Structure 1
């Protein structure tokens, strides 16, 4: 009986351990998927600070399909800025681009003539608005001489931008098997892959470094080669643009993507009242797990935008010239004054969940190189001189999540001296030294006398 009872206790103990191990995982899963996003991966980011408001499998490497073209856009706009490529520069169609461009409507394309010449601007518009694959390869060849060289540039730029979890094998996002035997990087069935976090980072840098991309990305419709026999109506695949079928207020970008491997993907961005959000959805599905209806990627994106705009607002947590309670001044040595006021150089602003503004507290970090062993600044001190930094932390101890590892710096401002403190002259310093000396002597005498009694 004792053995049976012992076994029963052991079994109960093991069950308890399993339960304790399972429930935290369930709680974490629930916390991570508060929006019930039906997709393999997703992320929601406030654009200015990069604060992550929601994430599902943010670091899982997944197919990105034509969201790839955000990198091609970045490299083109960079080349335009640096003068290596001109908007009115003409491209002469080669066999590779011709064959890919003629594969429509199976692949997104504007058909290009084998003997035709096209400006970089119209190829860029076709790529950005209509996701035209032939036009994208033409841009890649223009920038790098060949798509193979361009792919090397893509991977190098991803590294420079601090992306992780990525691999580019072509400029378009198509499966290599769709490239008419012209693929030069990877295997025949390879496609480009990234994580939701890396995709959001790319989108963030694209619209930050080249905001003009949104002027084209937000164009709902445009005629390619208008006025010619080759004219074709291009309708933006981003159906969340306000004037299109699933229009959403504030949406002005950015890029859709669809392949059998990647499923239904979409990198969206929307701005209202000066606050911009970036969303990424990868392999979106309906409630039954199907990914055949293009509408579902916009339905899942809408959930994230609704959550962001409905539950968060941009707040000034601490104003310019803010002084931390208990740290409004710092002691100064060798100065005409013995202390100096310190304050923030700029306000700290961040999106916070409605009603949770009071959950954030200031965190002052002083520059140790500016202080002596006694924690004093040494005169002279100039007004506006940087003394340290101020950032914010959650009162409940929870970490603020950002798109990048150094994202906390996006909610960090300089703390500076509010006034000049001149260095005291030699006579004042000498008299202070004498006073300090005799003060120390008198203190020693007092202590000795007290010791006698």
Structure 2
């Protein structure tokens, strides 16, 4: 009886590992399968599928934050390795603030080294601790989606404290006001993390990162703005590092099966777990504007993304709109708000009159002091046929100091009795 139970458990575990292996092999084949002219028609047909048959999808303008497409985009869902974009953002910030250096060697513990050699969870084999730099692990986490590299980077940012780093992820999401809850810096859920001692204390056995499509797109927006050079790596289908080949499973990149030159794609990140399904965030260009598109929980993510991009090509357009500084008053002081762009591009649904599009800014700052470049207004695009809200802000042109507190009357130091006698004296003096 006990032997039978052991066989069942082993079978389930084996199936799970084989499932991971098959998916990895399929992604590899899709990345490196070249397109042949003789199959052009069938390839074109296969490149697109129904973009609506997904759990969630979202598309935004990377500069203005304007929403171009929304399909249940605020639902919190498992996002698998898309989570690594928050880890990479915080790593980038640590470098920017001189807390880390690209050339710093990163300590990697034995459990993470062991994880890196797992055929179901590893994609870049880490040989020894302190062998790889921040830049090496950054590339491994971004291109090959290495779980061990992402966790090691997070610990390096938080001085070796994994729990502290995850708290940093959640605090950053809160600061941005986005729908995100993290328990892992890699995107693995607790069923995998527990085996290596990385389940966060106080979290359920099956806990996983829950983030909305809109939220992860905003994280991608902050990441690419903080480190525009990321495209030199995210656009690579493969990359050589320390004698190993980092394989990018994004089949929308050249020479992947779903690659289309017309997409003008520059990256960005893939993700998969059994709970999350296939997930994908991409950056691409249209009309001189960078767009960010995310699909969560699809059975055919790459073809669905091509379908979504094609749908937007057929249904939305953009028009240039000039913006100028605006003057406001806060606590009696004049404050000038500079626009995020002197000339922005506003997207609109075909059928809308672009001449009726307006850009409105609402003052959100109400107290002094105001620091130069501090966001003080929020922007909305109206009459577009699309959602009005953006992530765009107007920023203060100058610093406005907080007014000095009014001085209280100087005390004479007299006791209440002396003040009473002095008051009586002044009263009688009027009759003399």
TM over 0.5: yes
Point out where structure 1 has 5 or more consecutive residues left out of the alignment: 1-34, 226-230, 286-295, 322-343, 368-387, 415-453
Which residue is 2:116 aligned to? 101
Q: Structure 1: how far apart are the matches of 2:162 and 2:114? A: 15
Q: Does the alignment pair 1:112 with 2:126?
A: yes
Among candidates 210, 214, 228, match of residue 231 of structure 2: 214
In the superposition, relative to structure 1, how do residues 36 and 256 fare at CA in structure 2: closer, same or farther (>3 Å)?
A: closer
1:247 Cα deviation from its structure 2 partner: 1.2
Q: Structure 1: how far apart are the matches of 2:196 and 2:181? A: 20
Among candidates 277, 290, 313, match of residue 263 of structure 1: 277
- Once the two structures are superposed, what CA deviation does each residue of 1:102-148 show, in whole Å capped at 9, x if it has no partner? 112x1242111245611111111111000011111111121111221
Report which stretch shifted further, 194-203 or 351-360.
351-360
1:313 Cα deviation from its structure 2 partner: 3.1
- Once the two structures are superposed, what CA deviation does each residue of 1:26-63 show, in whole Å capped at 9, x if it has no partner? xxxxxxxxx75111111121222222122111111110
Confirm or deny: 8 A CA contact 2:136 2:241 kept in the other structure: yes
Alignment of 1:384-395 (within 5 A): 393-394=382-383
Higher RCO, 1 vs 2 (CA within 8 Å, ≥6 residues apart): 2
Q: Structure 2: how far apart are the matches of 1:42 and 1:363? A: 26
Alignment of 1:160-309 (within 5 A): 160-164=175-179, 166-179=180-193, 180-185=195-200, 186-225=203-242, 231-248=243-260, 249-285=263-299, 296-309=300-313
Confirm or deny: 8 A CA contact 1:129 1:234 kept in the other structure: yes
In the superposition, relative to structure 1, how do residues 357 and 78 fare at CA in structure 2: closer, same or farther (>3 Å)?
A: same
> Which structure has the greater CA radius of gyration?
1
Q: Structure 2: how far apart are the matches of 1:94 and 1:272? A: 44
RMSD between aligned residues: 3.1
Q: TM-score, normalised by structure 2?
A: 0.66
Q: Does the alignment pair 1:352 with 2:348?
A: yes
Q: Does the alignment pair 1:159 with 2:174?
A: yes
1:170 Cα deviation from its structure 2 partner: 1.1
Point out where structure 2 has 5 or more consecutive residues left out of the alignment: 1-49, 326-338, 364-376, 398-432
1:67 Cα deviation from its structure 2 partner: 0.2
Q: Structure 2: how far apart are the matches of 1:365 and 1:223? A: 47
Q: Does the alignment pair 1:88 with 2:98?
A: no
Q: Structure 1: how far apart are the matches of 2:378 and 2:114? A: 57
In the superposition, relative to structure 1, how do residues 110 and 60 fare at CA in structure 2: closer, same or farther (>3 Å)?
A: same
